[in-house]
Every structure is written in C-alpha cells, then in structure tokens.
Amino acid sequence: MAWQSGQSLYGDRYTIRKKLGQGGFGITYLAEDEQGQPVVIKTLTDEIMNSLDDTGDHDKFLRDFEKEALSLALCRHPHIVQIENFFTHQGLPCIVMEYVAGLDLGKRLRQQGALPEAEAVRYVQQVADGLRVIHQKGRLHRDIKPQNIMVRANTQEAVLIDFGIAREFLPDVTQTHTRAATDGFAPIEQYDNQARRGEFTDVYALAATLSTLITGANPPPSFIRVVKDRFKVPDNCSAAVRTAIEQGMALEPEARPGTVGAWLTLLPSLQVQPQPSPPEPKASPLQVPARYQRLAELLKAGDWRGADAETTQQMLAVANRTEEGWLDIKSIDNFPCEDLRAIDQLWVHYSQGRFGFSVQKRIYQALGGTKGSQQKVWDAFRDAVGWRKGRKFPDITFNIKAEEGHLPLGLSCRWVGEYSGITLLF
C-alpha cells in the first residue's frame, strides 16, 4: 500500500510528502527529514514483496539489498545521487537519498525535444565520470536512461539516480513477472538471467542514452535488433559522437569498449567541467592553534604516519590521559569541541578532503551509523575505510592513496573496542 502524505517513518525521522513515481520495482517518495530538509525515499512495491514471500527468498533478498545499498552509499561523486541512509519500515527496505531539485532528462525530452549535441555530450560525460566510481567499487548501475538522469535546476549539472538495485538478485520467478530491463537501453545480456554483465552493460545504456538525447527517439530494443537491426546511428551529430554511439551500442558485449573510461575516449575532448567549487573553509587562512603547529607541519610535509602519532599524542594530552594511553567515556564526553575541530580541519585541509574525523563521520553515517551503533555498522565502516586486517588492530596504510577516511586512526576508545575518533563527534 502506498504511503500517504504525513506518514512518518523510522521513528519520526522522516515524513512522507508525496509520491514521485512508481515503477515495476519501486515506489519513490519525496519526504522531509527532521530538519525539514527534502529527501527522496525509495522502497519496493507490494507486488515485489509479495512475490518474494511466495518464493521464500525474502530474507536473503533483504540482506543482498541492504548490502548493495550500503555499498552504493559509499560512491560519492557530484554526478551520482548521494545515498544518505537505509532502514526498514514494517519489513520494507527503504533507501534515503539526496533530493535533486530539477527535471529528469526524460521529462526534458518530452517537453523540449532533442538536446543540442554539446549539451547531450556534457551530461553523458558527467554521468560516465560518476559511473567510474560505481564501477571501481565493483558495482553496476544497470538502468541508465534519460529518465534516470536529473539535471539540477538552473544548471547544466547532471545527476544519475535510480540504481537498479533490486533487479539483479530478485529470484527468477519474480523477474519474469516484472520488467528487469528497460527496452531500448538494456543490452541483450540483460534479457538473459544467466548472461554475464559487466561495465560493458552500462556502456551500452550510456551510448543509447546519448543517442536518445541527440535524436529525441528511443533506440529499438536490443532483442529486436538481434533479429533485424533497424537501429540507425544518428546522422545529425559529429563523427566522434557517431563512433561512440556505434561502438557503445554494439550488440555483442565483446564488441563494445570494455570500460566506461575506454568508451569516454571516443567522445570529443569536451572535458567534464569541474564543479564550481563550494565555498570551502580552506579558502580562509587556516588558523592553527599553537598546540597543533607540529601536526600542521607534519601534515603539510605529507608525513601521514608522524601526523597520526602526533594526533594521538595531542588528543591524549588534551584529555589528560597520556599515562593511560586511551580514552574513557568521561574523557570522551568532555573532550573539547574546539580541539576536535582544529585537528579535523588540519587533516581535511592537508589531505584535500580525504582524511579527517569529519570524513570518517560522513562515511559512518552513510552506513547508517549513529552513536553506539551495532558491531555490524562498525564492521562495514572498517571495511569502507580500509581497516580490514586483524580484529585487534587495523592494518594501516600511511599514504594519501589510502581509502577515503583511512586516517587518522585516532584513539583507542576501549569502551566501544574501536580505534577511531569519530565516536567523539556524536
């Protein structure tokens, strides 16, 4: 049953405002968070949930769904919608994501017809750049098409939405009753449950999207093309774009560029334009309190190991726990915010946003973590920031190329059995 406006979810954290859309798999709602900020919540349809009950695969499906949602939450890119949270409400899995104010390209095509080539290429390049992050994490989008690309209002910034999360691991029975692929954009392998998918699967959909944006018409379904190929590469575009569409939409997966990066090289060298940089605190001169001068120097010199040790040392000194070498609940509760912020700012500044407690906190929250979360979230967090090996002490890489949020290691917070300063930030 669809939720009505005013319905509250997840212990009043979110309130439904209206339904944005309903497809074969999911229902998408506009909602508000506790601060009154708009968010989008996506859940599954009753039909899908009922058919899962029939197959008895319900629990496995929910586990897979959550795993995929958490993994996508870690894909941060200006052209990928940011997943903010995941929860279940009365057995329904719900994904909370950023609300993108603007129009999706499907609506835009219906309202205004085909796009100028340069604009179409720009959006597709942006989305492709974001896709690379998804592919790097070993995930696929699986449903790229104009309707799943939003353009932020009053800008030319595209954002890819609607990951086909549920599709691939629904039991076969369910898949046959629902459309697991979008005709015109899905390559042949997506119509065969047994066939191998890969980055080349998204490449096909991306090239089909580019063709659609330029011509205003959807390509014929790939399963029809296999029988008789009436698809015509648009002739109202540049030679490079024609080649990119032709190669990207090759029917056989092996004939397509194997990665989005390889496909992108076929497009004109119109670069993805850098985002207008948000006003960053680092634009103002960095204030370094005397206590943290040495930390700043170490960070500036790229001595990540030294900086990490210095961070630990200073935090213990601030908390008056140098002798003990770890923080107890009292010292965590009383830890001065200014100190925490100063340390964090230095790390964020010198790592160009890669390391720092606030970076760790963002990742932790994206994984559904709150103060005192269960072990499961900690494990996912540890995995995300690359503290994989060994349960007792994480395996640390003192290198800027380490995972986002990998440093600083921070302090041993024995009461949670963890080695992170983020507990201090709640």
Ligand X SMILES: Nc1ncnc2c1ncn2[C@@H]1O[C@H](COP(=O)(O)OP(=O)(O)O)[C@@H](O)[C@H]1O
For ligand X, the closer of residues 23 and 216 by Cβ is 23
Residues in the interface with Mg ion (CB under 5 A) total 2
Among residues 33, 59, 104, 143, the one annotated as catalytic is: 143
Q: Smallest distance, Å, CB 226 to ligand X?
A: 25
Q: Give the separation between CA 124 and CA 290, rounded to whole angstroms.
A: 48
For ligand X, the binding residue among 8, 28, 88, 259 (CB under 6 A) is 28
With beta carbons less than 8 A apart as the criterion, state whether 92 and 193 touch: no
137-166: contacts with ligand X (CB under 6 A)? 147-148, 150, 161-162
Q: Smallest distance, Å, CB 28 to Mg ion?
A: 8
Residue with tokens 């921070």: 410
Q: Smallest distance, Å, CB 67 to ligand X?
A: 19
393-412: contacts with ligand X (CB under 6 A)? none
Residue 42 binds to ligand X (criterion: CB under 6 A): yes
Window of 96-104, 216-224, 236-244, 259-267 that interacts with ligand X by CB under 6 A? 96-104
Window of 21-29, 186-194, 265-273, 390-398 that interacts with ligand X by CB under 6 A? 21-29
Question: For residue 90, what is the DSSP state?
Answer: T
156-195: contacts with Mg ion (CB under 5 A)? 162
Calculate the dihedral angle through the C-alpha atoms of 6, 9, 14, 15, rounding to the nearest 10 degrees: -10
Token reading at 213: 């944006």
Query: Is 46 an active-site residue?
Result: no
For Mg ion, the closer of residues 106 and 386 by Cβ is 106
The residues near 13 (Cβ < 8 Å, ≥ 6 apart) are: 33, 34
Q: Smallest distance, Å, CB 144 to Mg ion?
A: 10
For Mg ion, the closer of residues 14 and 163 by Cβ is 163
Q: Smallest distance, Å, CB 373 to ligand X?
A: 25
110-149: contacts with Mg ion (CB under 5 A)? 148
Q: Smallest distance, Å, CB 99 to ligand X?
A: 5
Residue 23 binds to ligand X (criterion: CB under 6 A): yes
With beta carbons less than 8 A apart as the criterion, state whether 27 and 33 touch: no
Amino acid at 26: G
Helices assigned H by DSSP within 253-326: 260-264, 293-300, 304-318
Neighbours of 40 (CB within 10 A): 21
293 binds, among Mg ion, ligand X, none (CB under 5 to 8 A by kind): none
Residue 104 binds to Mg ion (criterion: CB under 5 A): no
251 binds, among Mg ion, ligand X, none (CB under 5 to 8 A by kind): none
Q: Give the separation between CA 111 and CA 105, rounded to whole angstroms.
A: 10
Q: Smallest distance, Å, CB 385 to ligand X?
A: 26
The answer to whether the bond into 408 is cis (omega within 30° of 0) is yes
Q: Give the separation between CA 66 and CA 59, rounded to whole angstroms.
A: 11
100 binds, among Mg ion, ligand X, none (CB under 5 to 8 A by kind): ligand X
Cβ-closest residue to Mg ion?
Answer: 162
For ligand X, the closer of residues 142 and 256 by Cβ is 142
Question: For residue 244, what is the DSSP state?
Answer: H
Residue with tokens 């659609």: 212
Amino acid at 72: L
In this structure, the strands spanning 26-32 and 8-9 are unpaired
**Which run of H or E residues covers position 361?**
helix 357-366
Residues in the interface with ligand X (CB under 6 A) total 20
Residue with tokens 């005192």: 372
3-state SS assignment for residue 133: helix
Window of 22-30, 111-119, 273-281, 302-310 that interacts with ligand X by CB under 6 A? 22-30
Q: Give the separation between CA 209 and CA 121, rounded to whole angstroms.
A: 10
Considering only CA atoms, give the Rg of the chain: 24
Q: Give the separation between CA 18 and CA 223, rounded to whole angstroms.
A: 36
103-122: contacts with ligand X (CB under 6 A)? 104
Contacting positions for ligand X (CB under 6 A): 20-23, 25-26, 28, 40, 42, 81, 97-100, 104, 147-148, 150, 161-162
Binding stretches for Mg ion (CB under 5 A): 148, 162
The residues assigned a catalytic role are: 143
